[in-house]
Chain A
Amino acid sequence: MQVNEYKPLIVAFCCNWCSYAGADLAGNNRLNYPAEVKIIRVPCSCRVNPMFILRAFQRGADGVIICGCHPGDCHYTSGNYYTRRRMAALFSMLDYLGIEKERTRVEWVSAAEGAKFAATMNDFVEKVVALGENKRLEDLRCKK
């Protein structure tokens, strides 16, 4: 692991029906993933408003990941299809504004994929750690 003591703050929006259960399974199976990942449960991945993502960055997040059911498996039939389009557009815009693209990600994690959840988080945290602190969407008022 990294030598320095830098601990990123990762916000993971997890859909209630698949990914949150996937995270649960990862825990039950004693699979390791970094403690810096803070999970926020949402009813569906399409509940995630772009504002949530920006506010997470404002409040000190270094990376934001959205996890939902696999396309086609949405509990509400089509929610994650919308998520897919919205986040594609938003992430492309953030990249356009010069915000590092590795800080945002969407992954589809089902309730059975505890291992995928842990692996995804490990990978995501590693990438964010490599980038270091979020400086481009920070709000200095929120820094201690």
Chain B
Amino acid sequence: MRKCSLDKMNLVFAEIAKNAALYLPVDQNDGSAVYKKWEEGTVWSNALNTVRSPKDFFFPQTEDLMKFTTSGKNIEIIDTRSESEDFVIFGVRACDVKSFDILDRVFLTEPVDSFYGSRREHGVIISLACTRPSETCFCKTFGIDASEPAGDISAWKTETEIFFKANTEKGEELLNKLSALTEDCDDSTVNEQKAKINAIMNKLPLKDLTTDAFGGGKTNEFFNLPVWDELSGTCLGCGTCTFVCPTCQCYDIKDFNTGNGVIRYRCWDSCMYSDFTKMAHGNNRLTQKERFRQRFMHKLVYFPENNDGEFSCVGCGRCLAKCPISMNIVKVMKKLGGATNE
């Protein structure tokens, strides 16, 4: 365990930024936070979390896959892939760190997605324990410990100091580079901090939400329930929940004709959109109810079925805060039988 005074944070950032692009949450005019590249003068945000999740770093909203040029009947395929640069993401919360595991299960299983894989290899994650969780937080439901975030390096912040613990080789290496700015310490302060966090976690309004009712193999139990009508009744069919979600990974592949070649790019897509499954001969999900059901069934039943019981939700609470009509996974879980422990 290493520690350093918060006054020295700028030096720490500068040291990290020497060798890799450093991204950290920064406040915007409207009060929300966003990950920005650090440069001298950048101020680290105090916000609990960013509106957009850090999945962008590994799975950006839009990225070029390849380029084509055509002449007559001939096509040339141009592989535009390049090795990702080294980068460090600072201040990732426990829930978002967990979301990378979930994305890994999708993109790093055979056949490996090399676009995602390259960025994953070159990224170092410095996580940060939550000192002031929001009422929308429910990471505990998914077995995530907000006081003990994973990542290459875990960090804890107190009023005056910041503590680092390396969890991986990559993290060790980075922390060693910071040795001049940090000093060794025992974990008593961090343990105090953890206890404090856990005390708050036990006060959160959603603390009793459980996943007991859900999991693989329960498709038929939930699929035809009439409550889907009620739950999806006023869903607007926008993509806000999917786009702010750290674990939603559906994408579309599209071609863009630039006038001097065709770029094939991939971009986020949302199962909430009416054209998600539309094909030439029809659409197998015709109403919003079916699309809505797909999203939640995927997170609570289908994904765990294929991934050793792992749910594809991390309880970050972004959809709770951002849905235009305040319909969200918590309401769905409670309605479908996510009985509380009370």
Binding site for B on A (CB under 8 A): 59-60, 141-142, 144
Closest to B263 in A: A141
Binding site for A on B (CB under 8 A): 256, 258-260, 263
B256 surroundings in chain A (CB, below 8 A): 141
9 CB-based A-B contacts, threshold 8 Å: A59-B259, A60-B259, A141-B256, A141-B258, A141-B263, A142-B258, A142-B259, A142-B260, A144-B260
Closest to B64 in A: A141
Considering the chains assembled together, what is the distance between the CA atoms of A106 and B61 in angstroms?
38
Considering the chains assembled together, what is the distance between the CA atoms of A101 and B319 in angstroms?
40
A144 surroundings in chain B (CB, below 8 A): 260
> From residue B318, how far is it (CB to closest CB) to chain A in Å?
29
> From residue A61, how far is it (CB to closest CB) to chain B in Å?
12
Considering the chains assembled together, what is the distance between the CA atoms of A142 and B257 in angstroms?
8
Considering the chains assembled together, what is the distance between the CA atoms of A144 and B69 in angstroms?
12
- List 5 A-B pairs, minimum CB-CB distance, nearest first: A142-B258, A141-B258, A142-B259, A144-B260, A141-B263
B259 surroundings in chain A (CB, below 8 A): 59-60, 142
Considering the chains assembled together, what is the distance between the CA atoms of A113 and B232 in angstroms?
61
Closest to A140 in B: B258
Most interface-central of A60, A142, A144 (chain B CB within 10 A):
A142
Considering the chains assembled together, what is the distance between the CA atoms of A60 and B258 in angstroms?
10
Considering the chains assembled together, what is the distance between the CA atoms of A144 and B263 in angstroms?
12
> From residue B250, how far is it (CB to closest CB) to chain A in Å?
23
> From residue B216, how far is it (CB to closest CB) to chain A in Å?
42
Most interface-central of A60, A141, A144 (chain B CB within 10 A):
A141
Closest to A141 in B: B258
B263 surroundings in chain A (CB, below 8 A): 141
- Known: A59-B259, A142-B260; 7 extra A-B contacts, CB below 8 A, are A60-B259, A141-B256, A141-B258, A141-B263, A142-B258, A142-B259, A144-B260
Closest to A139 in B: B258
B258 surroundings in chain A (CB, below 8 A): 141-142
Most interface-central of B259, B260, B263 (chain A CB within 10 A):
B259
B260 surroundings in chain A (CB, below 8 A): 142, 144
> From residue A40, how far is it (CB to closest CB) to chain B in Å?
15
Considering the chains assembled together, what is the distance between the CA atoms of A144 and B258 in angstroms?
9
> From residue B310, how far is it (CB to closest CB) to chain A in Å?
37
> From residue A137, how far is it (CB to closest CB) to chain B in Å?
15
> From residue A59, how far is it (CB to closest CB) to chain B in Å?
6
Considering the chains assembled together, what is the distance between the CA atoms of A59 and B256 in angstroms?
12
> From residue A99, how far is it (CB to closest CB) to chain B in Å?
21
> From residue A4, how far is it (CB to closest CB) to chain B in Å?
23
Closest to B260 in A: A144
> From residue B71, how far is it (CB to closest CB) to chain A in Å?
16
Considering the chains assembled together, what is the distance between the CA atoms of A119 and B258 in angstroms?
33
> From residue A36, how far is it (CB to closest CB) to chain B in Å?
16
